[in-house]
Structure 1
């Protein structure tokens, strides 16, 4: 995509993609962290703090280490070769990568550290937030904290549409000018504040029926306000240079858009998706492997397709379809393998439900 930094770029740049990508990127990962906090709240109900932390650590850190050792290296190799900083030869690159480099400056994203986690940065961030929340559980169950939680889940009407955005705006005023996003875990003060706030929101709302009912009721107003704010944000960005809007105002507008978009997504999701869909078990088990695999598949396919000169239509269509099929096929393999499952963040193989004939035979045998 034109004007958008990434590990490996196609010669067929698409300027028009910036608009939808920018619109999604303002809330995409924020939604993921909010849902992660929601999931942690569900898990916490039937686990002690120590057991919860050990399980989460295993499910997050093992896939991270496996991904950095096996899945991510080709991304770094392709970027380094494309940059002219690394000589072709994937085998030699892997040997050097296993030793932590050293690499020429800016050889690939993360080369200063010797190895990289690239798109897997979400896993260490989530592990840190989970650890912090588990350590804070005694405080979060205090009288004052329970009152704060009830205040949040009790927000209604315009208060729910606006109040949760205030901490996000405060982080933008205090931290955003000083901590640009890095995804290196260490220097990401602004993103940590935003993501942990939304992670805590998710943990708070849990199964609170009143909050979800209100989010569902506000789904239309939230959607309308989010679209209006998005139009305002994009319009301000498109102004000519002599009418440039202060960056801080852009950021604050994006914060309110972020929250109203999340509220609309949660409200509509609760109305339309809160059903026992038959595909839900498959989706629940597939999302983690798809996340781990998708970016390396995209880069590997782009690497192999580029010499074919398929054009601005054929190349992206083939890249998209092959990525989806690759994720689908590899995930099917992972889900069926007892030793691959933990490397991709999955639990033990689920027990197969007995067929009706088998159950009937066992029933007859019992008598």
Structure 2
């Protein structure tokens, strides 16, 4: 009944792609980041701000659905060691190797350490006294969170399965029976509640423990994906709601863009600021429903390109930020025009990810370090 969900594969590739180019943009906007360009491009901030509410939320939703499909397809004795290895090994390797150049570049940029990578690496592994937590996981926080959420799902499986059945049954049937507003507004209510009750008191730290507002948001998206994965009513409702979700996404996106373009005025009015924060949550859910609907309608098909990207996108994700930070740091100490700098940043990120993947996928010892399964022998394949 449930075959390969190519639409979710395409959306996963799309969301990771948005994330990679978002991090290129972080080098230029005025927001705090690891290293910063000599040039600023505040005009990017409203565009990037429109992706903030949904890009990671979509990834957590898809990850929850993927865990549901994988658990139901095999036994826990096979699923848990395989998934644990596919996530923990890249996380550990990333913190010990991939993220080290980022930490070195950041601390050199801040002026906290002297030149000398290998001397720094000894301190890095020995938990030297730095202004950053060492060893940091930087962009790999997503892997750490997904690993923990997967373990939670497995531990709570006796409760999650009936809960998912109930969610995918009577509750989603109630959502599906109503007009579009039910699907587009009701599931967003918990996120609106988090924005009011948790966000003001628990700023995002990406440190897992203590990151309660972010955990509530991402874990809820993960669990909704887990519960909705095999609900015919949910996916039929997504299909029927597509025109309304497109309309609502455009309207709420327009309002949010207006707020982003007038952020100082919004920030000076507490009531208006709270209204915008609530609007973000409904915008995030409406655009996720829209993307799910567009994926089902236009991208639920296999292709050689998808097969390649589906395998490559996780290694791309692991590699991309280190490439961006290293190239960015070089430009902080070697002046160049903004056109040369920006072109090099984008080109180096894309080419570095592509070449890096093409090399590591051919080296059996490197494949597990980047979340790739061991290569089967040709006869087995």
Q: 1:44, CA displacement in angstroms?
A: 0.9
* In 2, Cα distance between equivalents of 1:353 and 1:278: 21
* In 1, Cα distance between equivalents of 2:310 and 2:232: 23
Q: 1:239, CA displacement in angstroms?
A: 6.0
Q: 1:116 aligns with which of 136, 153, 160?
A: 136
Report the counterpart of residue 253 of structure 1 in structure 2: 279
Does residue 80 of structure 1 match 2:107? yes
* In 2, Cα distance between equivalents of 1:10 and 1:145: 46
Q: 1:35, CA displacement in angstroms?
A: 0.7
* In 2, Cα distance between equivalents of 1:341 and 1:163: 42
* In 2, Cα distance between equivalents of 1:240 and 1:81: 33
* In 2, Cα distance between equivalents of 1:86 and 1:53: 41
Q: Could you report, residue by residue, the CA deviation over 1:191-230 in whole angstroms, capped at 9, with x for unpaired residues? A: 1111111101111222434422321232232122112112
Does residue 8 of structure 1 match 2:27? no
Q: 1:139 aligns with which of 124, 140, 159?
A: 159
Q: 1:66, CA displacement in angstroms?
A: 0.2
Q: 1:20, CA displacement in angstroms?
A: 0.9
| Structure 1 segment 32-51 matched on structure 2, within 5 A | 32-51=59-78
Does residue 341 of structure 1 match 2:367? yes
Report the counterpart of residue 269 of structure 1 in structure 2: 295
Runs of 5+ consecutive residues of structure 1 not aligned to the other structure? 356-367
| Structure 1 segment 191-270 matched on structure 2, within 5 A | 191-237=214-260, 238=262, 241=265, 244-246=269-271, 247-270=273-296
* In 1, Cα distance between equivalents of 2:249 and 2:318: 30
Instruction: Point out which structure has higher relative CO (alpha carbons under 8 A, 6+ apart).
Output: 2
* In 1, Cα distance between equivalents of 2:240 and 2:325: 42
Q: 2:347 aligns with which of 318, 321, 336?
A: 321
TM-score of the pair, normalised by structure 1: 0.89
* In 2, Cα distance between equivalents of 1:303 and 1:25: 25
Based on CA coordinates, which of the two structures has the bigger radius of gyration? Answer: 1
* In 2, Cα distance between equivalents of 1:233 and 1:73: 37
8 Å CA contact 2:165–2:227 kept in 1: the answer is no
Q: Could you report, residue by residue, the CA deviation over 1:109-131 in whole angstroms, capped at 9, with x for unpaired residues? A: xx2x3310111001111111111
Does residue 148 of structure 1 match 2:167? yes
Q: 1:312, CA displacement in angstroms?
A: 1.4
8 Å CA contact 2:167–2:228 kept in 1: the answer is no
- What is the root-mean-square deviation in Å for CA atoms of aligned residues? 2.0
Q: 1:48, CA displacement in angstroms?
A: 2.2
Runs of 5+ consecutive residues of structure 2 not aligned to the other structure? 1-27
Report the counterpart of residue 289 of structure 1 in structure 2: 315
* In 1, Cα distance between equivalents of 2:263 and 2:91: 42
* In 1, Cα distance between equivalents of 2:164 and 2:230: 18
Which segment is superposed worse, 10-19 or 235-244? 235-244
8 Å CA contact 1:236–1:245 kept in 2: the answer is no
* In 2, Cα distance between equivalents of 1:125 and 1:340: 23
SS in 1 for 2:73: coil
8 Å CA contact 1:236–1:244 kept in 2: the answer is no
Report the counterpart of residue 49 of structure 2 in structure 1: 22
8 Å CA contact 2:30–2:41 kept in 1: the answer is no
* In 2, Cα distance between equivalents of 1:95 and 1:163: 52
8 Å CA contact 2:168–2:230 kept in 1: the answer is no
